[in-house]
Amino acid sequence: MTTTVNNPAPNSQGLAGIVAATTALSKVEGTLGRLIYRGYNIHDLAKRITFEEAVHLLWVGHLPNQAELTELKAKLAAQRKLSPAALSVLQALPKTAEPMDVLRTAVSADGAAGEISGAPTLDQAIMVTARIPLILAAFARLRNGQTLLEARPDLGQAANYLYLMNGQAPSEAQERALNSYLVMLADHGMNASTFAARVVASTQSDLASSVVAAIGALKGPLHGGAPSKVKDMLEEIQAAGGKEGAEKWLRNKLENGEVLMGFGHRVYRTVDPRAEELKGMAELASPREFGFASYIEETALKLLAEYKPGRKIYTNVEYYSAVLLGSLGLPGDFFTPTFASSRVAGWTAHILEQAANNRIIRPESDYTGPESATFVPLARR
């Protein structure tokens, strides 16, 4: 049987260059190295606003005034409690489980328990955004045999997360650093996890299901799963002789056809503006680790230009995220979940945007199998 393709468009592997949605949330300009959230350049927001302000900008459409910010913070703080369903999932899962799998399962449990159900709403977005840090911190403490801490309503999202993870309130500098990180990672056009969330939302499924799909997509090392791999890479190079052995180690990876973690991007063909900001922040937060990481970055970029000439491969957002998040006391396997605790703002904003102006997302495929096969009954095959 032949599949007829309506309005055939060229097949773009990985949907590169295909416009899959209309959005007023964020714009990624790959050749200019520019990222904007609702008109604001990310460089103007990164160190100047809190995560809550960024979330308000994405969800509501403008930066909040003081009264709006106070109201949103109060709503987020009021949702800082683990549901019984999520807690029992956390207790039941093995301590060795990957935190991203734990997060996916706990958000799913909230959906199944009816905590998040029906058509997507802003209140549901607030609930899931407020709860993700709690789920993560609870699992981090449970797997270490520590008792769970009560969330602190007096702390913002960034400080409360570090308090719950580390057992003590962060310094002002640490809180500022995490806020900047959370602001910069909150949205990024039609990235793979956001696309996954929008596809699920477009079927009129619920917000929990959409967020669960997004978590699954973010987990992969070609997307949000990279920063812990960057950490592993830096540690392996350190163990293999440090700076002296670095070029050989990196060359070996490229000779074997492997990718170098923390480099390359589907859209950016120049410096990723978030990587630029994160580099400066990592240098301040952790000068020693930064020194080694920047040497490896320089060597990797030189080799990528040699092995992949003309491909314009630059350092991506994940590279210095690894150094920065490590300096905040977060374990490597919590780097990607921390990314999720920020990107959930973008996912939920996109889910609401999709729901408000929906058409089911249903692309076509290029069939490459045989056109006509003769059926043979089971007994004669």
List residues binding ligand ACO (CB under 6 A).
Answer: 14, 221-224, 226, 259-266, 304, 308, 311, 313, 316-318
Q: How far is the CB of 317 from ligand ACO (least distance, A)?
A: 5
Q: How far is the CB of 319 from ligand ACO (least distance, A)?
A: 7
By beta-carbon proximity to ligand ACO, the closer residue of 192 and 355 is 192
Q: Are 277 and 184 in contact (CB under 8 A)?
A: yes
In the residue annotation, 265 being an active-site residue is answered as: yes
Query: Among the options 188, 223, 265, 350, which is catalytic?
Result: 265
By beta-carbon proximity to ligand ACO, the closer residue of 164 and 278 is 278
Q: How far apart are CA 274 and CA 359, in angstroms?
A: 32
- Specify the 3-state DSSP secondary structure of 41: strand
Taking Cα atoms as reference points, which of 100, 90, 86, 174 lies closest to residue 131?
A: 86
By beta-carbon proximity to ligand ACO, the closer residue of 133 and 224 is 224
Phi first, then psi, for residue 125 (nearest 5°) are -60, -40
Longest dimension (CA), the chain: 76
Q: How far is the CB of 50 from ligand ACO (least distance, A)?
A: 22
**The two three-digit tokens of residue 364, written as one number:** 């076509």
Taking each helix axis from N to C terminus, what angle separates 335-356 and 51-60, rounded to the nearest 10 degrees? Answer: 20
Q: How far is CA 14 from the centre of its chain?
A: 19
Long-range CB pairs of 252-257, under 8 A, 24+ apart, other chains included: 254/303, 254/304, 254/307
Q: How far is the CB of 269 from ligand ACO (least distance, A)?
A: 8
Query: Among the options 52, 318, 350, 353, which is catalytic?
Result: 318
Q: Which amino acid is at 329?
A: G
Q: How far is the CB of 16 from ligand ACO (least distance, A)?
A: 6
DSSP code, position 190: B
In the residue annotation, 318 being an active-site residue is answered as: yes
Q: Residue 269 burial (CB < 10 Å; 0-12/13-18/19+)?
A: middle
Q: How far is CA 332 from the centre of its chain?
A: 14
Q: How far is the CB of 55 from ligand ACO (least distance, A)?
A: 19
**Beta strands per DSSP E along the chain:** 26-29, 34-37, 40-41
By beta-carbon proximity to ligand ACO, the closer residue of 123 and 258 is 258
Q: How far apart are CA 198 and CA 220, in angstroms?
A: 18
Q: What is the DSSP string of 46-87?
A: TTTS-HHHHHHHHHHSS---HHHHHHHHHHHHHT-S--HHHH
Q: How far is the CB of 309 from ligand ACO (least distance, A)?
A: 10
By beta-carbon proximity to ligand ACO, the closer residue of 58 and 127 is 58
Q: How far apart are CA 239 and CA 249, in angstroms?
A: 11
By beta-carbon proximity to ligand ACO, the closer residue of 23 and 79 is 23
By beta-carbon proximity to ligand ACO, the closer residue of 162 and 304 is 304
- Catalytic (active-site) positions: 265, 318
